[in-house]
């Protein structure tokens, strides 16, 4: 589907609750630049072969990966092999991608286990985290050694200049691309319609505050024109960036209040708190994302002085709401 002349919208399948990812083909002179790739799978590779035959007339010159998650970078290495296209991403995202698919050292594995024991008593789920890197590696084709870093304020694609806007919180250096002339923002996962992006603490940096960076990035995006068309990685293209950013911030604030309220009566254990924030059953990947995000919200509240932690005999944390005025 064409969003603007020379901007094609391609939807690729995902085998999880998100169901799909949107990727974007941008006319680039006699060829094309692709933003994001889809996850590494035989099904997605077959779809790309079909797309190359039916729609991509001319060479694929460049692949820009907004960030390191498998649905965005999964086929970058394969596309490089298949077409010779250059692969572009920020340095921090490349580092994160390589780390995600590398077997952790004993020290790193111990840190991951320690982190998850603070936030859950589910020994089975915690034990599974040792193999998480294998899941990531199964979804990301080996990356090329000659990745180009995105470190300039703008990227020229064909006749258009795209401003590089770095978002943080969902991932280290998430690339968003804004073209004033076309009135388009390729937002990746940084702002999505109807759902909020996952913002998680990395187990290797348990005291981190990614939620603060995410909210700062929301404020940066809100400075763009209100009538820009937003091209998100999931769900549909939409207009109304300011309204959506405001709604996301309100959603974050409501969840922060929900957590504080849950901690008011007595110190709450992590399993009960997890069920308050995320009611319903969580599978392997969603469990990990939920734990990481709960940690992000609790770290933000601790920075604000609104909750205080303590450690129980089993090693898990307890949280109590701080007294008013404390």
Tokens of 151: 């470190």
- Report pLDDT for 1: 85
Predicted confidence (pLDDT) per residue in 142-189, tens digit = 999 999 999 999 999 999 999 999 999 999 999 999 999 999 999 999
The mean pLDDT value of the chain amounts to: 95
| Pairwise CA distance, residues 59 & 276, whole Å | 50
* The pTM of the whole model exceeds 0.85: yes
The CATH homologous superfamily of the domain defined by 2-101+136-250: Ribonuclease Z/Hydroxyacylglutathione hydrolase-like (3.60.15.10)
pLDDT tens readout for residues 281-313: 787 789 999 999 999 999 999 999 999 999 988
Q: If you average pLDDT over residues 35-48, what whole number do you get?
A: 97
Q: How many CB atoms lie within 10 A of CB 30?
A: 10
User: In terms of residues, how long is the chain?
Assistant: 326
Please give the backbone phi and psi of residue 181, each rounded to the nearest 5 degrees, phi first. -60, -40
pLDDT beyond 90 at 35: yes
Phi-psi region of 311 (alpha: psi -120 to 50; beta: other; left: phi over 0): beta
Mean pLDDT is lowest, of 13-17, 48-52, 274-278, for 13-17
pLDDT of residue 17: 75
> How many percent of the chain have pLDDT more than 90?
91
CB 40 within 8 A of CB 74: yes
- pLDDT tens for each residue of 233-249: 999 999 999 999 999 99
Pair of tokens at residue 232:
């998100």
| 291: enclosing H helix or E strand | helix 284-303
**Which residues make Cβ contacts (< 8 Å) with residue 303, sequence separation at least 6?**
209, 212
Digit-coded pLDDT (tens) for 56-81: 889 999 999 999 999 999 999 999 99
């Amino acid at each position: 589907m064409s969003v603007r002349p020379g901007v094609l919208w391609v939807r690729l399948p995902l085998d999880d609750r998100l169901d799909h990812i949107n990727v974007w083909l941008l006319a680039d002179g006699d060829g094309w630049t692709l933003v994001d790739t889809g996850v590494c799978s035989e099904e997605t590779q077959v779809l790309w072969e079909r797309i190359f035959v039916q729609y991509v007339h001319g060479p694929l010159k460049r692949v820009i990966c907004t960030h390191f998650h498998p649905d965005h970078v999964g086929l970058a290495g394969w596309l490089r092999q298949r077409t010779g296209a250059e692969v572009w991403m920020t340095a921090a995202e490349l580092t994160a991608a390589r780390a995600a698919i590398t077997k952790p050292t004993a020290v790193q594995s111990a840190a991951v286990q320690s982190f998850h024991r603070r936030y859950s008593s589910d020994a089975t789920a915690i034990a599974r985290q040792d193999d998480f890197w294998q899941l990531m590696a199964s979804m990301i084709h080996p990356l090329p050694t000659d990745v180009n870093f995105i470190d300039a304020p703008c990227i020229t694609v064909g006749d258009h200049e795209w401003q590089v806007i770095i978002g943080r919180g969902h991932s280290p250096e998430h690339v968003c691309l804004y073209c004033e002339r076309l009135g388009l923002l390729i937002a990746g996962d940084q702002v999505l319609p109807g759902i909020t992006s996952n913002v998680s603490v990395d187990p290797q940096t348990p005291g981190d505050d990614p939620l603060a960076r995410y909210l700062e990035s929301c404020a940066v995006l809100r400075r763009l024109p209100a009538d820009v068309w937003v091209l998100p990685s999931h769900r549909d293209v939409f207009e109304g960036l300011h309204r959506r950013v405001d709604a996301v911030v309100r959603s974050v604030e409501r969840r922060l209040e929900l957590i504080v309220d849950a901690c008011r009566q007595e110190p709450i254990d992590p399993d009960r708190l997890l069920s308050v924030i995320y009611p319903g059953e969580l599978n392997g990947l969603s469990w990990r994302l939920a734990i990481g995000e709960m940690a992000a919200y609790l770290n933000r509240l601790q920075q604000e002085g609104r909750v205080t932690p303590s450690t129980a005999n089993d090693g898990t944390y307890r949280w109590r709401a701080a007294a008013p005025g404390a």
